[in-house]
Structures are given as C-alpha cells and as structure tokens.
Amino acid sequence: MRTHGTGLHLAIAAATCLGFAGLLTAAEAQYVGQSKCKACHLNEHKAWAANAHARAIEVLKPEERTRAECLGCHTTGYGKPAAAGTDLNGVQCEACHGPGSLYKSMDVMSKSKYQADRASAHATAVRAGLLGPDEKTCTSCHNQKSPNFKGFDFASAKEKIKHWK
Ligand code: HEC
Ligand code: HEC
Ligand code: HEC
Ligand code: HEC
C-alpha cells in the first residue's frame, strides 16, 4: 500500500506540474468531487444539480447514510481512491464520467486542444481516466440489487438527466 501511495503522489505531481498527463494511466486516477468540475462546466453542473442524482444521499435516512449496502449506489466512487476530505455524497459527475484527478487538468481538458483535434484530445482524456457513459454505466446501479428498483429504460432515463448539447 505504501509503495502504491507514493507512486500515486508522484503521478499526480507530474500531471499537474509537468503536463505529462497523457503518459499516465487511468488506473492512477482518484475521485475529486463535483465542485472541481463546476469551475469549467457551469451549465452541465446546473442541470445536474436540479436532478435526482444530486439528491441521492438525502433520500437515505440519517442512519442509512453510514451503511455500505446503501452507499455503493447513493454515493460516488464508494471505497475507491479519493483525496482526503472530498465530498462524494450523491451520484456525481465522476460516477458516470470516471475519476477525474488526471483528466480534469487544464492540459487535458483544454478548449484549444479540443478545438484543434477533438478525437486526439478525447483519446488523451480517456487515457487519463475519462469514461464514455453507456447503458452499462447506469445499470451498475439501476438494477435488481436496489431495494427500490423500478425498472430501467436507458433511452427515456437518459433524456431525464440531459445536461449536454
Ligand atoms: C480546466 C477546466 C475543466 C475542468 C476542471 C473540467 N473540465 Fe471537462 N472539459 C473542459 C473542456 C474545455 C472540454 C472540451 C469542451 C468541448 O469543446 O467540448 C471538456 C470536456 C469534457 C467532457 C467531454 C470530453 C470528451 O472527450 O468526450 C466531459 C465528459 C467532461 N469534460 C467532464 C468533466 C468532469 C466530470 C470534470 C470534473 C471531474 C471536468 N470535466 C473538469 C474543461 C474542464
Ligand atoms: C444497486 C444499487 C442500489 C443500492 C445497493 C441501493 N439503492 Fe437505493 N436507489 C437506487 C436507484 C437506482 C434508485 C432510483 C430508483 C429507481 O429508479 O429504480 C434508488 C432509490 C432509492 C430511494 C428513493 C425512493 C424511491 O422509491 O425512488 C430510497 C429511499 C433508497 N433508494 C434507499 C436505499 C437504501 C435504504 C439502501 C440500502 C439498504 C439502498 N437504497 C441501496 C440504487 C440502489
Ligand atoms: C448519471 C450519469 C451522469 C452524471 C451523474 C453526469 N453525467 Fe455528464 N453525461 C452523461 C451521459 C450519459 C452523457 C451523454 C454521452 C453521450 O451520449 O455522448 C453525458 C455528457 C456530458 C458532457 C458532454 C460530453 C460530450 O461528448 O461533449 C459533459 C461535458 C458532461 N456530461 C459533464 C458532466 C458534469 C460536469 C457532470 C457533473 C456536474 C456530469 N456530466 C454528470 C452521464 C452523466
Ligand atoms: C452510482 C449509482 C448510479 C449510477 C451510475 C446511475 N444512477 Fe441514476 N439514480 C441513482 C440513484 C441512487 C437514484 C435515486 C436518487 C433519488 O431518488 O434522489 C437515481 C435516479 C435516477 C433517475 C430519476 C429517477 C426516475 O426514475 O425518474 C434517473 C432518470 C436516472 N437515475 C437515470 C440514470 C441514467 C440515465 C444513468 C446512466 C447514464 C444513471 N442514472 C446512472 C443511482 C445511479
């Protein structure tokens, strides 16, 4: 664990200071929380905040908010690496888009790089941990293991969470 922790620290230092994020692997990424995405994605954040996912922790009773068997689907990246003190309550951006510590860097999510060559900028972001959400992303939570499962239709559910153009 210690060796792993040290490696992670160095990887993140390299990504932020030297701009080598493209050389890093997605496996080293950590969850950073929705407030970090809000800085650059105000419109997407506004749409998400008005949605049920943002309130997914609040529907749990206070005594349920410490139960592992509920938190796996009502929080983000449960049990996975995150910076200390990060608020990962509710179904946040990274529950669908992947842990963001590496791809959120200005060097990866750069407007000019996306404008110049979208496919190549996207490939770099994917190497840094960005996921393309699909039906399987949703059914990792919207499934029979949920005590309140109501069935799931991807097309109509996707329309209800729309926060993209
Ligand atoms: C420094 C600003 C910045 C931050 C921080 C940031 N992004 Fe981005 N993001 C961008 C820009 C710029 C683009 C490219 C926009 C475009 O032209 O479509 C982008 C693109 C994306 C895309 C589409 C990428 C693709 O290749 O398909 C997703 C999804 C995304 N961001 C999610 C997130 C999430 C989730 C977070 C927080 C973990 C985050 N972003 C943090 C600036 C940022
Ligand atoms: C496998 C993922 C999963 C687990 C585990 C899970 N939930 Fe949920 N929960 C969901 C989903 C998805 C919904 C949204 C309902 C739907 O559309 O199916 C939900 C909705 C709810 C709601 C909102 C009420 C409603 O009917 O929509 C409550 C309350 C709730 N869950 C409580 C709990 C409690 C308490 C636990 C732990 C004992 C728990 N959940 C465990 C996925 C899960
Ligand atoms: C419940 C899952 C989920 C959550 C939570 C979520 N997204 Fe998304 N996001 C999606 C899906 C699905 C798409 C559409 C992907 C597609 O069809 O190309 C999308 C699209 C996007 C896009 C446009 C991507 C593109 O190709 O240009 C951006 C940017 C984005 N999301 C950012 C965010 C941010 C920022 C947050 C948090 C404030 C967030 N998302 C929360 C599932 C999610
Ligand atoms: C990390 C677990 C998780 C993931 C991944 C997830 N959801 Fe959810 N979703 C929930 C929970 C929990 C609720 C209930 C929140 C509440 O009641 O406030 C919910 C509620 C919803 C709702 C509102 C309830 C309803 O039936 O109207 C929609 C729509 C929805 N999700 C769509 C999606 C889509 C589309 C995706 C994939 C792109 C997705 N979800 C991915 C956990 C998840």
31-58 tens-digit pLDDT: 999 999 999 999 999 999 999 999 999 9
Please check whether residue 105 lies inside any domain of the structure. yes
pLDDT at 23: 54
Task: Provide residues with CB under 6 Å of ligand 1.
Answer: 32, 36-37, 39-41, 93-94, 97, 100, 104, 106, 109, 111, 114, 122, 125, 130
pLDDT over threshold 80, residue 22? no
Residue 102: partners with Cβ closer than 8 Å, 6 or more residues away: 11, 12, 15, 21, 24, 26, 28, 29, 108, 128, 129
Please check whether residue 25 lies inside any domain of the structure. yes
Residue 145: partners with Cβ closer than 8 Å, 6 or more residues away: 73
Segments forming the whole domain that contains residue 133: 2-160
Q: Report the pLDDT averaged over residues 126-155.
A: 97
Please check whether residue 150 lies inside any domain of the structure. yes
Residue of 137, 141, 148 best suited for mutating to test ligand 4, as the one with most atoms within 8 Å of CB: 141
Please check whether residue 15 lies inside any domain of the structure. yes
Evaluated on CA atoms 58, 63, 65, 68, the torsion sign reads: negative
Q: Report the pLDDT averaged over residues 118-140.
A: 97
pLDDT at 27: 80
pLDDT at 19: 45
- Give the count of domains, the chain: 1
Please check whether residue 165 lies inside any domain of the structure. no
Please check whether residue 122 lies inside any domain of the structure. yes
Please check whether residue 67 lies inside any domain of the structure. yes
Please check whether residue 143 lies inside any domain of the structure. yes
pLDDT at 157: 98
Higher pLDDT, 115 or 16: 115
| Residue 109 Cα to ligand 1 middle (Å) | 5
| Predicted model pTM | 0.92
Q: Report the pLDDT averaged over residues 98-121.
A: 97
Atom of ligand 1 nearest to the CA of 125: 26
